[in-house]
């Protein structure tokens, strides 16, 4: 799926037949199996993301493929292995591709294909926000908005596996009871709407759950200010998205009297910073794959779409209140 200019995805993305490039000594020929449509993919096509691929570009930053053939200097991969992108900008919305070996990470082929296809962005972000800012112990709690997003669903499951409680904030919507049920089934301890953050009922939650030391923000605007209010003194709020397209507003008192800290995480930057530290990348991937194998981490709610229906998938991925990730089957 190629785009030659930036603009609205359904208008600029086209399905094109291209020649598969010749296999070089250090190259790997892969057959893509499945690739999701993430918000960052949409923003890259629109031309509004901080990282843009040179045009013409193939869409997609995430997905899983099977190795068909390797160049004769490739050492770490062999035909039949499963691989995911080592970094953003690979262009995963395609049936075949030839990539340098260092652009790919091997993943176990005994995990479900949808888990592998959605492994490199949301679960990694969830893992980093839970690991890098506060040392959380079993019994501690975190609060997060956009709890039904891909990252939100992964946070609930990774936290649950570590004995950490989650307070999950979602926008009010017509099918709210169904969404609450789904998040509770994933292991959420509490699910509240943005409006409830201001209500006295929050006190009831804190009778059984300690106030959070960590707040995870993917929205911005009012939702964030309200969430921040429930953070423990010296707590940390980490921002990894801004779906409301509004700034984060923090009362001065939160800094002075409660010594709240603010941070941010961008997986692309984290990978750049750790490019020489393969141990921490491998450690994170291992931990996530172990959780998947044990059934403690599942793929987010997905809608599987054949490649030729890509326009419908692009449009569906941009609708509000969609709790299902569109996955292109390649």
Active site residues: 49
Beta bridge partners of 240: none
- Category of 65 on φ-ψ map: left (φ > 0), alpha (ψ -120 to 50) or beta: beta
Backbone angles phi, psi at 216, to 5 degrees: -115, 125
**CA neighbor of 303 nearest in space, from 287, 273, 320, 326:** 326
Backbone angles phi, psi at 249, to 5 degrees: -105, 120
> Angle CA(16)–CA(18)–CA(19) in degrees, nearest 5?
165
Instruction: Report the distance separating Cα 305 and Cα 314, nearest Å.
Output: 10
């Amino acid at each position: 799926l190629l785009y030659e200019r930036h603009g609205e995805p359904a208008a600029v993305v086209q399905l094109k037949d291209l020649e598969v490039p010749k296999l070089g000594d250090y190259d790997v020929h892969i057959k893509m199996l499945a690739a999701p449509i993430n918000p960052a993919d949409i923003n890259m096509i629109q031309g509004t993301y901080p990282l843009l691929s040179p045009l013409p570009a193939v869409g997609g930053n995430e997905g899983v493929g099977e190795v068909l053939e390797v160049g004769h200097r490739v050492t770490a991969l062999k035909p039949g292995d499963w691989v995911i992108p080592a970094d953003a900008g690979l262009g995963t919305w395609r049936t075949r591709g030839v990539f340098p070996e260092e652009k790919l990470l091997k993943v176990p082929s005994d995990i479900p294909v949808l888990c592998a296809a959605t492994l490199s962005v949301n679960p990694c972000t969830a893992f980093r926000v839970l690991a890098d800012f506060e040392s959380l112990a079993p019994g501690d709690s975190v609060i997060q908005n956009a709890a039904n997003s891909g990252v939100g669903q992964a946070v609930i499951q990774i936290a649950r596996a570590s004995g950490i409680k989650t307070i999950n904030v979602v926008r009010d919507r017509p099918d709210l009871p169904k969404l609450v049920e789904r998040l509770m089934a994933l292991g959420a301890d509490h699910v509240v709407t943005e409006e409830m953050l201001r209500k006295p009922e929050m006190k009831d939650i804190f009778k059984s759950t300690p106030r959070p030391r960590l707040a995870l923000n993917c929205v911005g605007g009012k939702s964030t200010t309200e969430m921040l209010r429930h953070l423990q003194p010296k707590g940390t709020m980490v921002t990894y998205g801004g779906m409301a397209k509004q700034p984060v507003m923090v009362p001065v008192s939160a800094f002075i009297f409660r010594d709240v800290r603010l941070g941010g995480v961008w997986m692309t930057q984290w990978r750049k910073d750790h490019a020489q530290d393969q141990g921490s990348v491998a450690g994170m991937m291992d931990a996530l794959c172990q959780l998947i194998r044990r059934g403690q981490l599942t793929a987010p709610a997905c809608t599987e779409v054949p490649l030729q229906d890509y326009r419908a998938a692009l449009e569906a991925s941009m609708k509000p209140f969609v709790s299902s990730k569109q996955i292109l089957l390649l």
